[in-house]
Amino acid sequence: MSFEKKSQKKIFLMGGVGNQLFQIARAYQYRLDGKNSCLLHLGKKKNLIYKLINFTDHDIWLNIEELSSSLDVPYREINNYDVFRLFIIFLKKKLGFNSYFDKEYFDLKGNILNINLSKIDVGYFQTLNHVSKESLLTVADKTVQVLDINNEVEVSDFAVHIRGEKFHGARRETPSKLQPIDGLQISEYCKKEDLSYRIVTNDVDYVASIFPDFNEKSIYKGKSALDDFIFLLSSKNLFISNSTFTVWAALCSEHKNIESIFAPKDFFFEELFEVSKLSL
């Protein structure tokens, strides 16, 4: 496959791993369609850029460079000209001008839109109007390969991801707060199906307030975000929240022996894969 450098699309890697996986899928989408693309990481300029655009810094627990290489997508550090272009995009976005931020790639019929007006891409790219299911699943498959998960990983009957209010940096338009009814439904479903559930969360007090049968053994205590991610994608059944972290765990779990994926009623990523809803 040959590409012309002059038509190269530059996709900026920003945010946590969940956001960056969508951005990688965007870059890979161009490669699928015979176009040149390149991933730009912020490198030493990250702290300065995040302060300028008011982004929250997150721990990057996945080897993004290895993943990019496995997808045959070039990966390099941002240069000063790229920083200037990035700043202009966010400035235009803040002022309400057309900034080409989070531009859709497909129309409602699945046809590719003309988005060649800008050679750089900045955004979340979290719908099927931004990336195809093929691109998402390929990135998920390569992510599982990069993680190199061994057979000693703990497997849960029913893993639950709940991001509490202590989480900093969540996008305002994708809240993931559950209600006591959600905890009750999960508990009742597991009793009915004779399953034990384990919860991955950043806010144990919040979880205790919504689960009627909560106890400390219900919490999975991973040593890192990577541990939590592998635990979630390795479960037999999975309840996910409105979080890109857990969305990608679910996408990656489709490459393993997942039985069912459950989501809250206000789930924002339903189009990406088949989910079930719990009800009493």
* 254-to-22, 131, 165, 235 alpha-carbon distances in Å: 16, 18, 28, 11
> Quick one: pLDDT at residue 276?
87
d(CA 209, CA 165): 12
d(CA 259, CA 254): 9
Residue 175 has pLDDT above 60, yes or no: no
Q: What is the DSSP letter of 106?
A: B
Tell me the per-residue pLDDT of 7-48, one tens digit each, with 9 for 90 and over: 789 999 999 999 999 999 999 999 999 999 999 999 988 988
Q: What is the DSSP letter of 202?
A: S
Tell me the per-residue pLDDT of 93-138, one tens digit each, with 9 for 90 and over: 888 887 788 999 998 888 888 765 578 899 999 999 999 999 999 9
Q: How far is CA 25 from the centre of its chain?
A: 10
> Quick one: pLDDT at residue 237?
94
> Quick one: pLDDT at residue 199?
95
| Pair 248, 221: CB distance under 8 Å | no
Helices 80-95, 46-53: axis angle to 10 degrees equals 10
Average pLDDT over residues 265-269: 87
> Quick one: pLDDT at residue 110?
85
> Quick one: pLDDT at residue 172?
37
> 3-state DSSP: the chain helix, strand, coil percent, rounded to 5?
40, 15, 45
> Quick one: pLDDT at residue 166?
52
Give the burial class of 185: count Cβ atoms within 10 A of its Cβ; 0-12 exposed, 13-18 middle, 19 or more buried: buried
CA angle 70, 71, 75 (to 5 degrees): 90
Q: What percent of the chain has pLDDT over 90?
A: 51
| Pair 23, 134: CB distance under 8 Å | no
Residue 247 has pLDDT above 70, yes or no: yes
Q: What is the C-alpha R_g of the chain? A: 19
**Nearest to residue 211, comparing CAs of 201, 221, 224?**
201
Query: Which CB contacts under 8 angstroms, 24+ apart, belong to 258-265?
Result: 261/237, 262/186, 262/237, 262/238, 263/239, 264/176, 264/178, 264/182
More confident residue, 25 or 4: 25
* 240-to-40, 49, 76, 256 alpha-carbon distances in Å: 29, 31, 32, 16
| pLDDT interval class at 280 (50, 70, 90) | low
Tokens of 172: 């305002």
Weakest mean pLDDT among 152-161, 177-186, 205-214: 177-186
- Cβ within 8 Å of residue 185, ≥6 positions away: 278, 279, 280
d(CA 141, CA 146): 9
